Chains A and B, each alone.
Chain A
Amino acid sequence: MSRHITLLKPGLATSIQDQGRQGYYHLGIPPSGAMDQYSFRAANLLVGNPETAAVLECTLMGPELRFDSDAVMAVAGAEMVPIIDGEKHPTHTAIAVKAGSHVRFGVMTLGARAYIAISGGIAVPEVLGSRSFYNLGAIGGLDGKKLDTGDVLPLGEPSGSLHSHAELPENLRQPLAKQADIRVLPGLYDHRLSDEGRETFYADSWKVASEADRIGYRYKGGRPLAFQPRQPPFGAGSDPSNIVDAPYPIGSIQVPAGVEPIILHRDAVSGGGYAMIATVISADMDLIGQMQPNYSTRFVAVDMAEALAARAAYQQRLADLRAFFAA
């Protein structure tokens, strides 16, 4: 009989995610995939999965599950303790779960996204090379739908190579904090801002607003950013923050009407008519996914050399993670 788990309660915004899909952005299909790629990979490695097996990404509030098969489970990323048949277990640790067990999760005390990896991975079919759920396009995940009570999630065959390193040491976990500096490369349409608007963006402290999801993160609390006045170019729209609709880089920051910055994340709308003023560097995208509403951010401008150095450091962290499990 095939292995599976049953969803007793879906939680707040639980979805099936993996490394995401590439090569379809020109058709409006964004990469999707785990918002915190590092933690998703750590969770998989803890249970002996290939690091890109599909997992459950939990946002702010976890699901309730019934294990219909014996399996090994680990939670990585945000601090959200598993409670198995009433007993609390640590995060970032591989736990053997017996068939018939009832698994729920504690309140997410730090971070915004926890990854539940289960041995064998969640074995829904791949769509365009990924099992990741993309809500707006209704593809991936379980039949392209939001997870709901009673859903049965198929599990793949476990590799059988469970590691002796059952616990992830502190230095190999994603650092979590209620305040984070997010490094960005200025550019795109930042010349449309006034000098004062540009200074304000980097000087002010911004809080994550309640509208923060896989599509984009909205920030508030900073002063409004002034754009330079201009004659609207044909097709652009009348607001000074409007442009002729253009592609949006993943991680790009737009400020509609100069009021609230929005960072596009992995389920981004692929284009639109608002001027983008900077782009989060690839190494810091995971940090955004771990920010709850009301966490605060400062945007730090870096140049391309610094962005590439940070990218190399991120890859070194991943290499260290893999080396730990290969040892």
Chain B
Amino acid sequence: MSLRYTFGGDEFLFVEISEAMSLESFFKGMAITRRLAAANLDGIIEICPANASYQIRFNPDIISAETLLATLQGFETELANAPMRMDTRLIEIPVFYNDPWTNETGARFRERHQDPTSTDLAYAARINGYAGIDEFIAAHSGSPWFVSMVGFVAGLPFMFQMVEQERQIEVPKYLRPRTDTPKHTVGHGGCFACIYSVRGAGGYQMFGVTPAPIFNPAQEQGYLKDSMVLFRPGDIVRFKPISRAEYDTALDAVAAGTFNLNIRPVSFDLAQFLHNPSAYNRQLLGDAA
């Protein structure tokens, strides 16, 4: 696979790894952008790894477009056969699925939806071949997800489901975007899950809400002390279904400043994962223990 390099004006280099989304493409982008970050070159302003592409903002007065291009092409060659392993974090995100707020919002914008007589969850369950909402939630929360891009708005993670492609949940976006989405909605569009970091417009199907702050400029949560944004590309996420009572308790903890998340370091090996995703995930998530 040969990468496609193209400049965005005089300050951006955009690199498409592949037209289609895949874990292999995401990993290649992560490997090259981590290599660039480690090289610590002058004139590199921002390194943005994304789903199947990455983007560099650079200062052409300090590093020329040709030098940057040659450097990245060099990393592409250097890393072509490198083992795809990554040290990262496993983050457990509590989710109150089928909550009243996203259901109310979904009802309010129903005329913009493919299936006006259904709910987002019932629609997603049906078109993905699940018998009902409960089975769908079990699938959504049963496998881990890779944070494959952070952005759109501040702190919003895009997440790619770590299962075989034929098992991946896929749903279209709303026919026309909503003008409102509750803060911390867990959404899904195409093959990507997301968590809305702020209230606002959105086109993804809505499945639930998390009580966990994921973007907080005041940095009141212990896990946001280093950065006001929780997620980083490469994080692995697991959704944990919680009840209304657990959700309310968590919100009280957020208000009291005692809320915390379960975050632990893990190593991920793409080849081992691809060999047997289900078994690898069980081991990764510690479910066997």
Q: Given the complex, which residues of A lie within 8 Å of B192, measured CB to CB? A: 235, 245
The answer to whether A185 and B9 touch (CB under 8 A), given A236-B20, A269-B152, A271-B151, is yes
Contact yes or no, B46 A26, CB < 8 A: yes
Q: Does B217 contact A (CB under 8 A)?
A: yes
Pick the contact of B151 from A27, A252, A276 — CB < 8 Å? A27
Q: Does B14 contact A (CB under 8 A)?
A: yes
The answer to whether A270 and B20 touch (CB under 8 A), given A22-B45, A138-B217, A244-B52, is no
Contact yes or no, A144 B53, CB < 8 A: no
- Which of these binds chain A: B101-109, B153-161, B265-273? B153-161
Contact yes or no, B158 A245, CB < 8 A: yes
Contact yes or no, A246 B9, CB < 8 A: no
In chain A, what residue has the closest Cβ to B200?
A: A136
Contact yes or no, B217 A252, CB < 8 A: no
Q: Given the complex, which residues of A lie within 8 Å of B149, measured CB to CB? A: 245, 247, 271
The answer to whether A251 and B8 touch (CB under 8 A), given A25-B46, A26-B48, A29-B229, is yes
Distance from B68 Cβ to chain A, minimum over Cβ atoms (Å): 12
Pick the contact of B60 from A128, A188, A247, A311 — CB < 8 Å? A311
Q: Which of B16, B55, B165, B192 has the largest count of A CB atoms less than 10 A from its CB?
A: B55
Contact yes or no, A23 B46, CB < 8 A: yes
Q: Does B112 contact A (CB under 8 A)?
A: no
Pick the contact of B8 from A136, A235, A276, A311 — CB < 8 Å? A276
Contact yes or no, B20 A235, CB < 8 A: yes
Distance from A271 Cβ to chain B, minimum over Cβ atoms (Å): 4
The answer to whether A29 and B9 touch (CB under 8 A), given A234-B165, A249-B14, is no
Taken residue by residue from 281 to 304, chain A's Cβ proximity to chain B (1 for < 8 Å, 0 otherwise) reads as: 110000000000000000000001
For the complex, what is the distance from the CA of A24 to the CA of B45, rounded to whole Å?
Answer: 9
In chain A, what residue has the closest Cβ to B16?
A: A246
In chain B, what residue has the closest Cβ to A235?
A: B21
Residues 6-51 of B contacting A (Cβ, < 8 Å): 6-12, 14, 16, 18-22, 45-51
The answer to whether A249 and B151 touch (CB under 8 A), given A23-B45, A137-B217, is no
Q: Given the complex, which residues of B lie within 8 Å of A94, measured CB to CB? A: none
Taken residue by residue from 123 to 167, chain B's Cβ proximity to chain A (1 for < 8 Å, 0 otherwise) reads as: 000000000000000000000000001111111101000000100
Q: Does B191 contact A (CB under 8 A)?
A: yes
Q: Does B190 contact A (CB under 8 A)?
A: yes
Q: Does B198 contact A (CB under 8 A)?
A: yes
Taken residue by residue from 1 to 28, chain A's Cβ proximity to chain B (1 for < 8 Å, 0 otherwise) reads as: 0000000000000000000001111111
For the complex, what is the distance from the CA of A271 to the CA of B53, rounded to whole Å?
Answer: 11
Q: Does A129 contact B (CB under 8 A)?
A: no
Q: Given the complex, which residues of A lie within 8 Å of B232, measured CB to CB? A: 27
In chain A, what residue has the closest Cβ to B19?
A: A233
Apart from A187-B14, A237-B172, 10 more pairs, CB < 8 Å = A25-B46, A137-B215, A144-B217, A235-B191, A236-B19, A249-B55, A269-B151, A270-B48, A270-B151, A272-B152
What are the 7 A-B residue pairs with the smallest beta carbon separation, nearest first?
A249-B8, A235-B21, A233-B20, A270-B151, A279-B9, A137-B154, A249-B12
- Interchain Cβ contacts under 8 Å between A and B, 30 examples: A26-B47, A26-B49, A28-B229, A127-B217, A136-B154, A139-B228, A185-B7, A234-B165, A234-B191, A235-B21, A235-B51, A236-B19, A237-B173, A244-B21, A245-B51, A245-B158, A246-B52, A247-B55, A249-B14, A252-B8, A269-B151, A270-B153, A271-B48, A272-B152, A273-B190, A281-B9, A304-B65, A311-B10, A311-B61, A315-B61
